[in-house]
Structure formats: C-alpha cells, structure tokens
Amino acid sequence: MNLSNTCTFIIPLRIDSHERQRNLNFVLGWLTQLKAKIIVLEADVQPKVDKSYFHKNIEYIFVKDSNPLFHRTHYINMLLKRADRKIASIWDTDVVTAYQQIGEAVQKVQAGCTLVYPYSGEFVMLSPEHSNELIKEGNLLFLEEQNLNPVFNRPFCGGAFFVNRQKYLALGGENEHFTGWGPEDVERLRRVQIMGHQVKWTEKGKAYHLYHPRNENSRFFDEETAIKTRKELVKVCSMNKEELSEYIKTFAV
C-alpha cells in the first residue's frame, strides 16, 4: 500500500518513559511501510526522542514547552494545518492496527466520510508481556489468533483516526479547551456527528495499544482539569447543530 499522495500521518508526543520511546519506534516502523509522510512533533523542555529509527519520510519538529500539561489538541491543530494531503491521520505513539484496516479507513474518507476509525470499535489494551511479544514478532497474527477482549463494551473512539483534513478543520479541528488528557476523543466524535457529518469505523478488526506506564499525561492532570474538561464535553454534547456551529467559530483554528 502506497499512501504517499493520499495521507499525512500526524504524531504529537512527549516522551515520558522508556516504553513510550520503544512504542514510538515500533509504530513509526509500522507506519513507514505505507510510504506516506509522517510528521512527528515533540513538545517538551528539551528533545528526548531517539531519531536513529527515523526514515526519510519522517519530518521531525521540536517545540520547546515547559508546561507540565501536554496540550495535545493544540499541537494536532498545528500539524493539521501543516499537512498537505487531503487526508490526515492522527496517531498515538502506542497504537497499531492492521494495514487492511488502514486501507479501508482511507477508502471511507475518500468516499465522503469526515471522520473514520481504522478499527471496528474494539480497542485492546495489551499487557507488558503481549506488548513485548508484538514488538518481537513484528506482526499482529499471534494477537488476532488469541482474540483478546477489548477494554470497553462499546465502540471506542480514540488512539487513531482519519479525517478529511479540510472538512475537519471547517468543524473547528481539535477543541483546544481540552488542555491535557481527558474526554476529547468523545467530544470529537459527538461534535462531528452533531454537525451532520459522516463518521464510521471499519467493518472489522481491532486496534492494539502497547503498554506504557500511566504518567501525568496519560491521566487527568489534577481535579481542576478533570472538572473543566468534563464540563466542556457536556457543554458540546448538549448543543444542537446551530448552537455548535456558532460555538465552533470561537475555536482556535
């Protein structure tokens, strides 16, 4: 599969553990096979990413950022505007899906969807042992054979997603009121749906999340942030299309 003229992959990150760097190396190797441009943005006090695993299709950006909160939504918007393909895919450093699912997601965006998830809604959190095995094996076959249970009993909406870049930016892009880890994945889904745009998951196939420790940017930063972001989610989800259309005009993009 060659997505070089079709899609730009976007990975904003902050390295906070050995496992995070290990996962990034694996995910970059996985996505590089698609021959698409990959933009990696690291925002931190100083660079920590090991670039020795980078291929020629990877663009690296470092932004000096001393804020302990990793403002992921802000950096995604920055990269959405920088990308130069019709389709953009925002990818966590720790998520892997089958190539066939990626191809299906791209086709669904090309067919008119604004937002597509490259898995059927089933999202599997891998144990440290399964994560090590996946990195060792280099393919998903052994995980698919084990038929591991997803973490939720409802369709998941995070980890990786594809968007029609211009349509998504017209809907406000990422909601930068989500300043750190929180329910921004649900807000994104509901906002696109409320605005009447098509959202789909692939027909089948799981997403797998490689293990890493849950540090300060993998959970609510503090109680104040938790309350603020939950209120933002409820605010957006309670709006009708007309109200949300006006609210989107206040977004950063």
Domain coordinates in residue numbering, the chain: 7-250
- Please tell me the CATH code under which domain 7-250 is placed: 3.90.550.10
Question: Scanning the structure block, which residue is given the tokens 């880890």?
Answer: 181
Per-residue pLDDT band for 142 (boundaries 50, 70, 90) equals confident
| Dihedral over alpha carbons 122, 125, 127, 131 (to 10 degrees) | 80
The pLDDT of residue 240 is above 90: yes
pLDDT-based confidence at residue 216 (cuts at 50, 70, 90): low
Q: How far is CA 73 from CA 70, 106, 187, in A?
A: 9, 22, 12
Complete edge-to-edge strand list for the sheet that includes strand 95-97: 95-97, 207-209, 123-125
Percentage of residues in the chain with pLDDT exceeding 90?
78
More confident residue, 43 or 213: 43
Asked whether residue 232 carries a pLDDT value surpassing 60, the answer given is yes
Supply 183's token pair.
């329910």
- Top pLDDT among 41 and 68 is at 41
- Is pTM, for the whole model, over 0.75? yes
Instruction: Report the percentage of the chain scoring pLDDT > 70.
Output: 97
DSSP 100-139: HHHHHHHHHHHTT-SEEESSSS-EEE--HHHHHHHHHH-S
What's the pLDDT at 220? 58
- Residue 213 pLDDT more than 80? no
